[in-house]
Copies of this chain bind each other. A is one copy, B any other.
Amino acid sequence: MINAGIIGASGYTGGELMRLFLNHPEVNIVAATSRKLAGKPVSGTHRHLKGFLDLKFQDLGPGEARESCDVAFLAVPHGAAMDIVPELLGGDLKVIDLSADYRLKPDAFKEAYGFEHRDPRDAVYGLVELHPEVAEQSFIANPGCYPTGASLAAAPLAKAGMISSVIFDSKSGVTGAGIAPTETSHYPNMAENVQAYKLTTHRHVAEFTQELNRLDNSLTNISFTPHVVPAIRGILTTAHVFTKDKMSTDDVRTLYEDMYRNKPFVRVLDGLPSLGSVRGSNFCDIGFEADKRNNRVVVVSAIDNLVKGASGQAIQNMNLMFGLDEKLGLWNAAAAP
């Protein structure tokens, strides 16, 4: 059995890690930390876990984590992980960081986040379908939610060198903004609404760029505009791709089926994806259509932002890091409708 600790377990990704671990045959949750809620029962915050977990939140130091855990998941705010990771690494403990801290190369990080990285260390970017080398790592930077859906939507076209420019227009559920109530998440503001934000400046674009450039380093024309939609979970990403040559939908299908043939969590559809068909699951569903008149392909991907966009992908990484089947504990269908 793998002893897992969750550093920063009071938020949505922490809760989702625990929900998923409950059905993982090889994992014990040994610690769930929260400074603020230390001593309080985990099921007081994550009430759906009542009856499954007797755990209380702790305030666990790095030393204790290294002693009691085989793997630590960091579900802390951006900027906090870089102060914790150096104290966790170096021994036997495997670490999966769900924050943004180690996803970008130091220069790209500074540009996106506006300050110098305090622990400029290499990490493998844990987008499993694009990074088979995950299996050998002890430290993984788990991808952002938008970058997961966007990168998977565009990767086969990028790898084929077909992309001239791409605009990602993403529609995210409200849990993407976290567990704390805000003006945007206030039901009367969010219901029956669609809210665009950070039209040209969302930091996640740096992640797509880095990933897509690994597949095609000549590709620079990448844009991204996120929106919040009235959904609890899920991200639908519409990738508007201008291609170098004209393609048919069948041409596109060949590229996607080839790339994702042995990737169990990517489903290349005949039709178009829906958030309902991935809700609560670790799938990324993808559909597309080539424009008959122009050098243009539209690709749509759907993920659950808390599963494939965060905690599920983190467990998929863990499975591979420990030599397990990547599907272990994750092979569930969406609770649709």
Contact = CB atoms under 8 A, between A and B. Distances in A.
Interface residues of A, number: 83
Contacts of A197: 272
Contact of A300 (B51, B199, B273): B199
Interface string A161-178: 000000101010111000
Contacts of A277: 47-48, 50
A192 B300 contact: no
A27 to B, nearest CB: 14
Given A48-B281, A50-B267, A190 B187 contact: yes
Interface string A213-235: 00000000101010101111110
B192 A191 contact: yes
B186 A236 contact: no
A54 interface: no
A337 B279 contact: no
B290 A337 contact: no
A196 B333 CA distance: 22
Given A181-B181, A231-B192, A275-B192, A332 B223 contact: no
A194 B298 contact: no
